[in-house]
Amino acid sequence: MDGVFIALEGPDGSGKSTIMEKIVEYFKMNHIEFIRTREPGGTKIGEEIRDLLLMKDNQNMAAETEALLYAASRSQHMHEEIMPALDMGKVVLCERFILSSLAYQGIGRGLGVDRIKQINDFAIHGLRPDLTLFFDIDPRRTLIRKVGNGRGDRLEQEGVEFHNRVYDGYRRLLRECTETIEVIDATQDIEGVFNQCIYHIENTLEYKEG
Ligand code: TMP
């Protein structure tokens, strides 16, 4: 395995997808081989699991069911997409990975970080990104726009308290994690956020190339 695995993380509405578009353009311009993917989802099975997870009708989903479904989607994703791409030496650009489960299910839902780590370690055999970019922005600044008038998916509709817990959870995990996580000031304009991301991505690619 000699590819590079890069994950974009952060609260709902923190601008990950917008910046991902720009990173993709940058990779194409620079002829860097990559795949772009996301969680939950990224495979046919994973996208079906995503629908189950985010459907507003599924209000009665138990927290444990939710955690297992995210882990199941991730497992399929790792086997079918991520590992093969890394084995071919490609860069994997992924919106969200295990840190989302630790923050949303482990802390947001109160299931416990260690238990979420355990089910995920079973699902993905301990795989971790080489670089995680954390989009740092208070969800109170972004959610109102997304969930106003009943819009937004099941998770986005959870309410400000839940999303604050998730955000605080992320910040706690940043302090505790030993992996490479770079904090991106996501309050800046698009160009500013993009430049911060590219700075860290280039450093990681150079380091991996040795
Ligand atoms: P997205 O809107 O960023 O595509 O993600 C869908 C929702 O799923 C978002 O509210 C975050 C949530 N989520 C979790 O709760 N746990 C996870 O492990 C992942 C990957 C996402």
pLDDT, tens digit (0-9, with 9 covering 90-100), for 123-142: 999 999 999 999 999 988 88
pLDDT tens digits for range 28-77:
999 999 999 999 999 999 999 999 999 999 999 999 999 999 999 999 99
pLDDT score, position 200: 98
Tell how far the Cα of 203 is from the centroid of ligand 1, in angstroms: 27
Question: Which residue has the CA at smallest separation from atom 1 of ligand 1?
Answer: 12
Which residue matches tokens 């138990």?
62
Tell how far the Cα of 70 is from the centroid of ligand 1, in angstroms: 8
Token pair belonging to 136: 């740092």
Coil, helix or strand at residue 55? coil
Question: CA-CA distance, 138 to 153, in Å (whole number)?
Answer: 19
Domain map of the chain by residue range?
4-209
The CATH T-level fold of domain 4-209 is: Rossmann fold (3.40.50)
pTM for this structure? 0.95
Tell how far the Cα of 108 is from the centroid of ligand 1, in angstroms: 12
Find the mean pLDDT for residues 173-185: 93
Angle at 33 between CA 31 and CA 36, to 5 degrees: 115
H or E stretch at 176 = helix 160-176
Q: Using alpha carbons, select from 80, 183, 85, 192 the residue that is nearest to residue 134.
A: 183
Nearby residues of 112 by Cβ (< 8 Å), 6 or more positions away: 106
Question: Which residue has the CA at smallest separation from atom 15 of ligand 1?
Answer: 104
* Residue type for position 82: I
Nearby residues of 51 by Cβ (< 8 Å), 6 or more positions away: none
Contact criterion met (CB below 8 Å) for 19 and 137: no
